[in-house]
Structure formats: structure tokens, C-alpha cells
Structure 1
Amino acid sequence: MTTYAVTAATGQLGRLAVEALLERGVTPSDVVAVVRTPAKAEDLAARGVVVRAGDYSDRASLDAALAGVDRLLLVSGSEVGQRVAQHTNVVEAAGAAGVQRLVYTSLLRADTSASPLAPEHKATEEVIRASGLPHVLLRNSWYYENYTANLGQYLGTGEVLGATHDGRISAASRADYAAAAAVALLADDEGRGTYELAGETFTFTDLAATVTEVTGTTVVSRDVSGEEYQRTLEGHGLDAGTAGFVAALDASIANGDLHTDSTDLADLVGRPASTLRDAVAAAHTAS
């Protein structure tokens, strides 16, 4: 019997990864959902999933949460600036628990990307390699949901505003990335080690056209300078630091950091990734 653990299991990606394991026939009692707040995982517990408290910043809680775990999915934390220390806690706890495979959700080309998100992922990958643990690095590109979550705004303003300069974005759904994580956890082989994961490639012009097609409301792409974009974001209430960070993400897209021709995602899950149109249609239906 193999015990699988998923960190951040009540988060948007972690919960889908738990579901993906169950869909692939893993017995619920062989899945450990590591969560900061167990009360948020009562539905998983009701289905037989083992729920344990574990906080990335609390090493002792992680030691307890990972006891007896054979394979671990480390979903990257959301607290930018704290993630290397937090992830190191998880990796060290995994080593102490005798975890036999660690799967980490990293960022597309984390070792060479100029994205402001890349340094912490690159550093985490180095920590994982240095640990000596058998591991698989899943370098996820962007989520469609990063954009479909803004569908109401696009429809309300009639535009997709950004400073990507029509840079190409290779993306996929959270469900696609979760499926890849489940496959990597369950695989009997040693794994290739590093996978560059993404699905369809599009630009903001393509995104606007897809929103128009799906909803019947005309939406256009409006590209501005990074400085203007940052000022606009600040005008919408973001503080200067956050607005600058978001603008830097668009600059990274313009630089090509989120584009890849890799087919690793489809190859890993054994099917084509979902499309941008699928994602927009699902968001429109849900709205």
C-alpha cells in the first residue's frame, strides 16, 4: 500500500490534485490532505481522505503531517517572498519521513526565466535536488483561470488591458496541471525528472477574440506601456508594489517567458490539454 500526500489540499490546485488521485482509483484512506485549516477539508474527510494539519511555516506540524507518507505532492506556496523557507521546511520534513518521491509544482523554465516569480521556484528546485530525495519537477506555465477569473471585467469594460505587447502565453487549466501531478505521483517509473508543462498558446488579442466569440459581446485587446499599466492598476486601488509586480509579470510575458512548444503536458496525461475556448466557455456558463 502506498500513501500519497498533497499539500495545500484545500487550495485551488491542491484540491483538484486530490480529486485526480481519487479519480484514478486511489483509495481515499491512502490519500493524506495536508492543510493549514482542517475544518476547510471536512468534505474530503467525509469521503475517507485522511486530513492532517500542516503549515509550511511550522516544521513540527509538517513532521507530523508527513509521517508514513510514501509520495508527496508539494504544491508551491502563495506567499511570495517566503516560499523558499517554507518549501525547505516541507522538503526537510519529507526527508525525515522517508518520502520516496517528491513532486513539486514549479514554474515554466524556472532556471532561466526572467519572470519575477522564477527565483523562488529555482531556489526551491535547488533545495529539492540537494535533498537527495527522488523527485519530479512539474514546471507549470500559466493557468487559463488567471484570465477567465476576470471575464466579468472584460465584458464590463469591453477590453483586455495589459502590457504584454502581444507576447505569446502557453497555458492550461488547473485541472490539467492537477491531472499531470496525479500521473507523476502514481507513475511506476523513475520519471524523467523535469517536465515543462503547458497547453494552448495564445496572445491577448486571441484572448479578446475568444471572449467575443463565446459571449457574443465585443471585447478587444488594449496594449499599453508597462508604466501606463502600472499607473492604471494603482488607479484601481493596488498599492505601488503590487501594481509593479503585476506589470512585471506582463513584461515577462512580452519577453517570451511563458511561451513553450513543449508537449510534455499532453504526453504526461495521455490526452490533449483543454483549450482556451473551453476555459472561457466554462467561466461564462458559471457566471
Structure 2
Amino acid sequence: MYAITGATGQLGRLVIQALLKTVPPEQIVALARDPSKATDLSERGVIVRHFDYDQPDALAPALENIRSLLFISSSALGARLAQHRAVIKAAEAANVEFVAYTSLLFATSSSLNMAYEHVVTEGMLRDSGIPHALLRNSFYNEVFLSIAAPAIQQGVIFGSWGQGRIASASCADYADAAAVVLTDQDRSTRTYELAGDTAFTMAEFTAELARSTGKPIVYKDLPKADYRAELEREGIPAAFAEIIADNSAGSAKGALYDNSHTLSRLIGRATTPIAATISKFLS
């Protein structure tokens, strides 16, 4: 049986949709912190089990009879190591045969502060002895839509992205990749650096947004400290503003760029360009 953590989240749902194309629903287990949000999945025949990263004693029973587990990293940035440790210990206790973990592009060499928790989690998996695949994802196209909405209203995008190229892909692209790896008969430990086929600078993203909306929108590059201050001025909590600013400044140094096309080869099609995601968002 195949299990997916975070099954009611954006990525988890898309992975289940991809699995349902080739896997009988009764062989898929949706692990959710709030099972009531997965009634649509249970109606399709998918098994739904309660799975809360913050309730470690209940995790192993939820993994009973699971052969392959997609472990979607927690969204609790800065506080997820205990959660991740609990999931991996539960997988060991339940004798899960294979784990695919959603990590960060080039995690072990990344300049991004958010890479640390991924690197430690990768080490936990290695120490567990469970065969595993590291799905080191670049950013999702959809992340940048949170920038688009206020930019359309204000006519400006701030950031510290510089001329860094961002090789993002859609959430659906990464979901399809996860489904491929999860159902692959190869149970060897391996690493995938996953990024979009086409890359863009933030200035190019801004130009595409302006073209698509017909509105005047400009990109204004700022030093990291100034960008962080701007984010805080807009009401973003200081800790989260630091993460956003660090991601932006890190991208300027190439942290979100890869041109290996590993993702498109894995899913057997081209990845989704940012222009297509913008178009879908606006429609």
C-alpha cells in the first residue's frame, strides 16, 4: 500500500490524483491531520487515516501495512525537526519499506537558511536505514502567485532577487514526479534534483505579469535588509519576513536554479512554465 502524508494539502491531493491513474484506490492511504477534510478522497475509495506530526505515539499505527510512504515535509518552518524525527521513527517501527521525502533543491550545498532542516531530516533518513528517495524540489510556480495579487494592485514588486534565475515548476509537476518515484519498483536510495525546464528572473516574472494583466508593474530590487524591512512594514511577522528575504537573496546567488531537466525526464513531459501558471491564475 502507498501512503501520503499531508494528504489534504495542495501537493498531497495532487499526488493522490496522480496515483489514482494507475493504482486502485484501496491501495492508497491518505494520511491527514484532519480526516474530515478528506471525505472527498474516502468517497473515491481511498483509505483515510488520522496522522498528526505533533502526536508521535499515534503515527506508527497509522502506517500499518504501508509499503511505500511519501513524506511531505512539514510547513512548520523552524520547528519541524521534532515532527520529522517522529515520522521517521514511526516508519521504522511500522517496517515501511521505502520513503520518498520532499526536500529542497541542492539542500546540502544550498545557501538558503531553510535548507538546514531538510539536511538534518535527510540525515535522519540515512541513519534509519530505510531505503529512500530524496525529492529535492525547487520552488513551486504557485508560490509566486502570492506576489502577483498585491503587485497587480500596487504596480510594484519588491525583492532581493537580483538577476538570479528561478527554475520553478508547478505543484502538479512535482506531484507527478512523486507519484512516479513512489510506484517505481526500484527501492534503492537515490536523490533527485527537481526543477523546471524554463527559468526566469524576477524582472522577467514582473514583465510577464504586466503583459498578462495589461497593467503597469515594475520590479524594484532592494538589499536584503531593506526588503525584509519592507515585508515587515506590510505586516509580515519578522521571522517569516527573514525567511522570505533570505530566499530572495539566495536566489540571486543561484539557489533556485538547475538546468538538468531531471524533473521533465522523470514525468515524461515538459514542466509548466511560469507564464502558464500566471495565465491560469488570472483566468
State the TM-score, normalizing by the size of structure 2. Answer: 0.96
Q: Distance in 2 between matches of 1:240 and 1:81?
A: 13
Measured against aligned partners, the alpha-carbon deviations of 1:212-244 in whole angstroms (never above 9, x if no partner) come to 222222322111111221111111112322222
Q: Secondary structure at the match of 2:135?
A: strand
Q: How does 1:1-287 map to 2 (within 5 A)?
A: 3-23=1-21, 25-190=22-187, 193-199=190-196, 200-285=198-283
Q: Distance in 2 between matches of 1:101 and 1:113?
A: 25
Q: Secondary structure at the match of 1:139?
A: strand
Q: Distance in 1 between matches of 2:115 and 2:190?
A: 18
CA apart distance, 1:192? 6.4
Q: Distance in 2 between matches of 1:232 and 1:224?
A: 9
Cα contact 1:208–1:219 (8 A) shared by 2: yes
Q: Distance in 2 between matches of 1:92 and 1:61?
A: 11
Q: Distance in 2 between matches of 1:131 and 1:282?
A: 41
Q: Distance in 2 between matches of 1:251 and 1:151?
A: 19
Q: Distance in 2 between matches of 1:223 and 1:283?
A: 24
Cα contact 1:233–1:243 (8 A) shared by 2: yes
Q: Which amino acid aligns with 2:90?
A: A
Q: Secondary structure at the match of 1:170?
A: coil
Q: Which moved more, 1:158-167 or 1:135-144?
A: 158-167
Q: Distance in 2 between matches of 1:112 and 1:32?
A: 34
Q: Distance in 1 between matches of 2:271 and 2:221?
A: 28
Name the % identity.
42
Q: Distance in 2 between matches of 1:135 and 1:242?
A: 30
Q: Which moved more, 1:32-41 or 1:249-258?
A: 249-258
Cα contact 2:231–2:241 (8 A) shared by 1: yes
Measured against aligned partners, the alpha-carbon deviations of 1:2-23 in whole angstroms (never above 9, x if no partner) come to x000000011111111111112
Distance 1:136-1:72 versus aligned 2 partners, 3 A rule = same
CA apart distance, 1:180? 0.3
Superposed CA RMSD in Å reads 1.2
Distance 1:101-1:283 versus aligned 2 partners, 3 A rule = same
Q: Distance in 1 between matches of 2:238 and 2:270?
A: 40
Q: Distance in 2 between matches of 1:191 and 1:206?
A: 39
Q: Distance in 2 between matches of 1:150 and 1:223?
A: 14
Cα contact 2:131–2:188 (8 A) shared by 1: no
State the TM-score, normalizing by the size of structure 1. Answer: 0.95
| Structure 2 portions without partners, runs of 5+ | none
Q: Which amino acid aligns with 1:134?
A: P
Aligned length: 282
Q: Distance in 2 between matches of 1:12 and 1:63?
A: 24
| Structure 1 portions without partners, runs of 5+ | none
Q: Which amino acid aligns with 1:260?
A: D
